[in-house]
Amino acid sequence: MLQLSPETIAPLRTAAIALALVVSAPVSAQPAGPQTPPLDLRLDWTQFVSSAVAGSGDFAPRYGGRADVYADIDGEGIGLWNGLTIKAQGEFVYGRSVNRVGSRVLLPVNTALNFPSNDSEDFDLSVNIVQRIGRVRIQAGKINMLDQSTAIPIVGGGGKEGFQHIGIASPPALIASPKILGALVSVPVGKVVLTGGVWAPDDWTKQFGPGRFFSDGVDGMAVVLIPAKIGGKQGFHNFSVFVTSRQRRSADDFPDITLPPILDNVPVPKRGGAYFKYGVQQYLWQDPADRKRGFGLFGHVGVSQGTPEILSWSMTAGAAGSVPFASRPSDTVGLGYFRLALNNKFIRTVEPLLPLKDEQGVEFYYTAQLIPAIRLTGNIQVVDSAFANAPTALYAGIRAKTSF
């Protein structure tokens, strides 16, 4: 039987009290008619019990969780103007994860428990505005880029749904940090969607003031999303370019990966760089009664040039989506592979200190909808570490997501 320590029980008690206050709070009466309330409030509580079952180190089960509160305020509803939405996301993590056990690995095994910090209680807040002008969407402020990835067809989920390993759930380009301070603009041109973005290059996790805004250069991206159909089934092709003008990045400046302290002082190039990516999602089956239900293939290939000279290229491939059984309409399943190929120059530079190689792995998950508000996921991962002397690790766990 899993024993919970007082340190683990404390945040659970806090979350339960907060939830009770939300549930028991009086709801103000709304006037009759189709008027939309100006505030849309949502809460997700995601819990994990995981263990490294092969490899090295600590194999004890670990419990952790996160609570995400989303608040969308309609600008027109509070007396401002049409098309404006004020968005806020508060996130609280607690407990322990398997991101640093089982074997030394570069990439987080559990994306959801790695941010805003790993193996500790922590809180972060992202606030931004969205302005719609016709079909154009403008978003500006502090933006959670990991949460943005939940909208990606077939493979999206950000670690709270679908795949948990960041190499599949949100493959890092090592340019865009998990939290950015900047702006994104999406413009539909016919069936094609063009998206551009610009932001300060620093990681804005747990940062709330604009003191370093663009003081160290600028990052940006351009994405072209092209819908396509094969046999009447929806598919999407996207071409992305991430660029940075940042003049200096140290080896410990990447929150998406975990480099050992021995590499903290390894120099990196003092120049800009870019990351080029092609991604594809293609449904093989879609429910004729509900086109959002479907199962298909996904994958990407990305190539890095210049800063940071850690990543050479990356890729994913797999299949995921809804279970095509009428008796389980809300269940999902997925099998995915990832590879993070390190830059040969970086490998040669650190070889006297630490031998490295490419990191790769496979993940399988199945999610069952228990009741409308609760989803239970079983997850298995096999990870071949980038550290040449580290054994291959096997992870297993369950995830329970409750939505209010």
When pLDDT is averaged across residues 41-70 and rounded to a whole number, the result is 95
Dihedral angle, C-alpha 173, 184, 198, 317, nearest 10 °: 10
Is residue 359 pLDDT above 90, yes or no? yes
**Is 162 strand, coil or helix?**
coil
Q: What's the token pair of residue 249? A: 């990045």
- pLDDT confidence of residue 95: 96
* Torsion angle defined by CA atoms of residues 109, 111, 112 and 118, in that order, rounded to the nearest 10 degrees: 70
172 within 8 A of 256, measured Cβ to Cβ: yes
Distance between CA 128 and CA 70 in Å, rounded?
12
For 158-217, the pLDDT digits (tens) are 899 999 999 999 998 888 788 999 999 999 999 999 999 999 888 888 887 766 667 778
At residue 131 the predicted structure's pLDDT band, cuts being 50, 70 and 90, is very high
For residue 359, count other CB atoms closer than 10 A to its CB.
22
Stretch 115-138: mean pLDDT, rounded?
Answer: 95
Show me where the domains of the chain are located: 37-403
Burial of 2 (0-12, 13-18, 19+ CB in 10 A): exposed
The answer to whether 163 and 365 have CB atoms below 8 angstroms apart is: yes
Give the alpha-carbon dihedral of 262, 390, 117, 88, to 10 degrees: 120
- Top pLDDT among 362 and 1 is at 362
pTM summary value? 0.87
Which two three-digit tokens encode residue 209?
Answer: 């003031």
Cβ neighbour number for residue 352 with a 10 Å cutoff: 7
Q: What is the pLDDT averaged over residues 58-66?
A: 94
158-169 confidence digits (pLDDT tens): 899 999 999 999
Of residues 217 and 78, more confidence is placed in 78
pLDDT-based confidence at residue 292 (cuts at 50, 70, 90): confident
d(CA 69, CA 78): 20
User: What percentage of the chain reaches a pLDDT higher than 90?
Assistant: 63
Tallying the residues shown for the chain, one arrives at: 404
CATH of 37-403 given 3.40.710.10, 3.40.50.1240, 3.30.420.40, 2.40.160.180: 2.40.160.180
Return the higher-pLDDT residue of 21 and 36: 36
Query: Within 10 A of 102 (CB to CB), how many other CB atoms are there?
Result: 27
- Backbone φ and ψ of 251, nearest 5°: -65, -20
Mean pLDDT across 390-397: 95
